[in-house]
Amino acid sequence: MSEVEYMIKMQGVNKWYGDFHVLKDVNLNIKKGEKLVICGPSGSGKSTTIRCMNHLEHFQEGNIHINGTDLIDDVKIVRHIRSQIGMVFQHFNLFPHLSILENLILAPTWVYKKPRKEAIATAMHYLERVQIADQAHKYPNQLSGGQQQRVAIARCLCKNPEIMLFDEPTSALDPEMVSEVLDVMVGLADEGITMVCVTHEMGFAKKVADRVIFMDGGQIVEENEPHEFFDNPQSPRLKHFLEQILDH
Amino acid sequence: MAIFELKEAREAPADTKGPIHWAKEKLFSSIGNTILTLLGFYLVYMTLPPLLDWMIFDATWSGTKAEITKDGARWIFIIEKFDQFMYGFYPESEHWRLLSVLGLFPISIVLFKYVLTNSKAKLALLIAFPVVSFILISGGFFGLMHVETHNWGGLMLTIVVASVGIIASFPIGIMLALGRQSKMPLIRTLCIGFIEFIRGVPLITLLFMASVVLPMFFHEGIEFDKLLRALIGITLFQSAYIAEVIRGGLQAIPRGQYEAADALGLTYWQAMFLIILPQALKISIPNIVGSFISLFKDTTLILIIGLFDILAMVTLTNSDTQWLGFEVEGYVFVTIIYWAICFSMSQYSKSIERRFNTENK
């Protein structure tokens, strides 16, 4: 291994949907504890990139190493890698037939085989942290979007993950609920967990990110530390993109 | 600036509620509607009184055959042949065994729902009930007289065939539905082949095949129970339909649910049994019950391979020279029984749906 400890290493990753080349030679190294923000227009491959990291998407060429393990198409390896990664989705993807608490203790009891009591204690701890402990016995559909997304984050934290992936976590939310989710994410960032966020929330990126990456057409186009990235974009494509998302 | 006072709620105007308003709005809202309403009343007037006369007021409820004087339904035929309609040729001295199974059923449900809290005890009950029922019905154990399946008949046979078909086809149907969605080509092809073959063949054909073809796979001389063959045929038939119904439910589950389950690190079977199936089955309940209701009615087809269910009993009881020409009463009686059971099933499915809906909102 190299001197720096990388949590995620992507080398020459290529992916095709049929004949469509979605990821072109993606190289990305993410250090332990690093906070990375990925942005870019829709269809640029940013979601696909992070979905490859926990093998929700299969890739045809290249290597991905997660915390020292080579991610190959093997059920056990994939499950081992997924056990270290929490993923937050755009549409929350809570399980509607289970109560909030049951959503949270599912992975601890079934994947990590923890005793139910311990799992419940952990779950309540994280629910308190995202400030919805009082909703523990409700069902997901009874909560607002912002609350559901906070539950989804707590559900990941119950796995005690090394890495958190966020796939546009605030894009499906009503505007007034965005900040309650971002606040939770900022709190997480302070704890030193490795975070990869696909998001267009500039404020969040400036406040939290160590590095911002711009993707377009399936490749990484520009990469910089956040202030330079937003204030002094180099490539015309990024300039154009920033103009578009800032101009209203 | 303006400030508005809080207003009290008032009653709705008198001419917008009540039965007269309802009739005006629902029955006589237009000329066409009025004509249809009157026509409907006329039809009811023409059919209902004679039907009620025949079934109830002019019917013969007691006495012997010689004493029949009224021209309504002669229910004494049903009363006379009641045991045969219910139990077929099951020996009269052993009827208590069937009645015990009938009694054990509600007791088990109460135990399962309200008494037992431990899931292992529940599972034990779930296994014990069919086993105990089988021992009671078939006998041959614990000093109970063995009753051969060709003596089984009537409503009891109908219920045995339908419940075995329903209970056995359900897990097979789930496996077929999952297999049909499998990423493994061999399993998927096998499941699709099986489902499409069964669905492309009428149940009668399957029953004939089960009765004629199945025994060819076994050594000659081994007696292969006729009822068992019918049960296998019906179970295969039903499981293909259940598989398709469940597949519909599976397809209605958003992809995000699969992804979230995967991302959490659940195994395939955990994801299916904890996340996907509970939701898919819930969506499918109306169709599953609908399919079970059709199966219940389809069980009458076993009469073509020589098993006498309740419908076959009508013909059979009418071949008694003492009681010729009582088919009408027989068929009406059987109709009422079928309707009562199927209607209860559909009501039960509605109640499950309602319960699930309130749980989730």
Cβ contacts (< 8 Å) between B359 and chain A: which residues? Answer: 139
B32-58 per-position pLDDT tens digit: 989 999 999 999 999 998 888 888 877
Interchain pair A93, B257: CB under 8 A: yes
User: Of all helices (H) and strands (E), which one includes residue A39?
Assistant: strand A35-39
Using CB atoms and an 8 Å cut-off, which of residues 206-265 of chain B contact chain A? 254, 256-257, 259-265
Among partner residues B256, B278, B359, which is closest to A93 by beta-carbon distance?
Answer: B256
Band of residue A1 on the pLDDT scale cut at 50, 70, 90: very low
Pair A87, A130: CB distance under 8 Å: no
- CATH of segment(s) B76-90+147-360: 1.10.3720.10
Pair A61, A12: CB distance under 8 Å: yes
A72-120 per-position pLDDT tens digit: 888 899 999 999 999 999 999 999 999 999 999 999 999 999 999 999 9
Instruction: Return the residue of A nearest to B270 by Cα.
Output: A110
- The three-state secondary structure class of A13 is strand
The confidence score (pLDDT) of residue B325 equals 76
The confidence score (pLDDT) of residue B220 equals 62
Strands A219-224 and A211-216: antiparallel
Q: How far is CA B256 from CA A99, B261, B277, B309, in A?
A: 18, 8, 14, 48
Cβ contacts (< 8 Å) between B257 and chain A: which residues? Answer: 93, 95
Mean pLDDT taken over chain A: 91
B266 reaches A (C-beta below 8 A): yes
The confidence score (pLDDT) of residue B162 equals 92
Distance of residue A135 Cα from the nearest chain B Cα, in angstroms: 14
Q: Which two tokens stand for residue A89?
A: 């989705």
Cβ contacts (< 8 Å) between B279 and chain A: which residues? Answer: 95-97
- Structure pTM? 0.83
Using CB atoms and an 8 Å cut-off, which of residues 70-89 of chain B contact chain A? none
Interchain pair B266, A159: CB under 8 A: no
What are the extents of the domains in chain B?
A: 76-90+147-360
d(CA A220, CA A222): 6
Interchain pair A93, B260: CB under 8 A: yes
B95 reaches A (C-beta below 8 A): no
Cβ contacts (< 8 Å) between B267 and chain A: which residues? Answer: 79
Cβ contacts (< 8 Å) between B360 and chain A: which residues? Answer: 96-97, 139, 141
What is the Rg, in whole angstroms, of the alpha carbon atoms belonging to chain B? 27
Interchain pair A107, B265: CB under 8 A: yes
Least confident of A24-28, A218-222, B218-222: B218-222
Instruction: Return the residue of A nearest to B269 by Cα.
Output: A110
B183 reaches A (C-beta below 8 A): no
Band of residue A68 on the pLDDT scale cut at 50, 70, 90: confident
